[in-house]
A and B are shown apart, each in its own frame.
Chain A
């Protein structure tokens, strides 16, 4: 009887854990999504700045002959 109760408790705990997995997984995926979006947004800002600087430097080189 005691063994049966222990097994049931174990299965109950396992079931709760399994049911919580989608939420845990979703939180990780959401975090990954947010991090990647921040990196993409920063990359756009960096690209805008860097490309302008490169073109300006090239024009300066051309002006200097």
Chain B
């Protein structure tokens, strides 16, 4: 009897943790993890780029260094824009998901799609810029 109760309890707990609603919430949390860590990568990458530009300027003259710095600024603008788009999209997705859950729509993927697209696009941009090991919690970005 005790074993049976334990099994039932275990099954119930597992079922509770994996509801579609919680899966959708976990997905948004995963996207925000990417955004948070991605922001740190942007800072580190920008700093490295700026330091390289200074070194390049010292070796090749001020104008060359300033040109390199302009390139850093362009990358920064692109990265921050992508990052901001990802965070904005999750900001929109959170209340939208709450509303979808409230009406028990069951169609949570469509609510998440814009946020997934924006954040995964940011993640891809980081990869393209040479950042390795950007987190991908629960494989939210395929």
Chain A positions near chain B (C-beta within 8 angstroms): 14, 18, 21-22, 25-26, 29-30, 32-34, 36-37, 39-41, 43-44, 46-48, 50-51, 54-55, 57-59, 61-63, 65
Q: Are A59 and B66 in contact (CB under 8 A)?
A: yes
User: Would you call the interface of chain A mostly helix, strand, loop, or mixed?
Assistant: helix
- Which of B16, B69, B87 is A22 in contact with, Cβ under 8 Å? B16
Pairs across A and B, CB under 8 Å, 13 listed: A26-B25, A29-B29, A33-B28, A36-B33, A37-B32, A40-B35, A41-B91, A44-B84, A51-B43, A55-B50, A58-B51, A58-B54, A59-B69
Q: Are B32 and A40 in contact (CB under 8 A)?
A: yes
Chain B positions near chain A (C-beta within 8 angstroms): 5, 9, 12-13, 16-17, 19, 21-22, 25-26, 28-29, 32-33, 35-37, 39-40, 42-43, 46-47, 50-51, 53-54, 57, 62, 65-66, 69, 72-73, 76, 80, 83-84, 87, 90-91, 94
Residues of A near B9 (CB, < 8 A) are: 18
